[in-house]
Amino acid sequence: MKQSKYIDITADYGLKKVFGSDTNKVLLIAFLNELFRGRKVIADLYYNKNEHVGDIEDIGTVIFDLTKE
């Protein structure tokens, strides 16, 4: 298999590699605003703790990559 020099941002790994840190926050905001095409406008976003353990034993752990405040 030929290895690509590009990262596939449609895959979870690629999206987190490119946009998953404060360093690329401006780039992520621009990317999301382009996807929304004016239907929604993101001015800022926050990288919060993304793992949330369920309140009771029957509810497992949920991971949110992006959250809205």
Per the structure, the complete domain to which residue 56 belongs is given by 12-63
Tokens describing residue 66: 């992006």
Helices (H), 1-69: 12-19, 25-36
Confidence bin at 61 (pLDDT 50/70/90): low
The count of structural domains within the chain is: 1
What is the value of pTM for the model shown?
Answer: 0.58
Whether 6 is in a domain gets the answer no
Whether 4 is in a domain gets the answer no
pLDDT in tens, 11-52: 777 777 777 777 888 988 898 899 999 998 989 887 766 666
Distances in Å between the Cα of 22 and the Cα atoms of 40, 45, 51, 54, 67 are 21, 9, 18, 27, 14
Whether 69 is in a domain gets the answer no
Whether 27 is in a domain gets the answer yes
pLDDT at residue 69 greater than cutoff 60: no
Whether 68 is in a domain gets the answer no
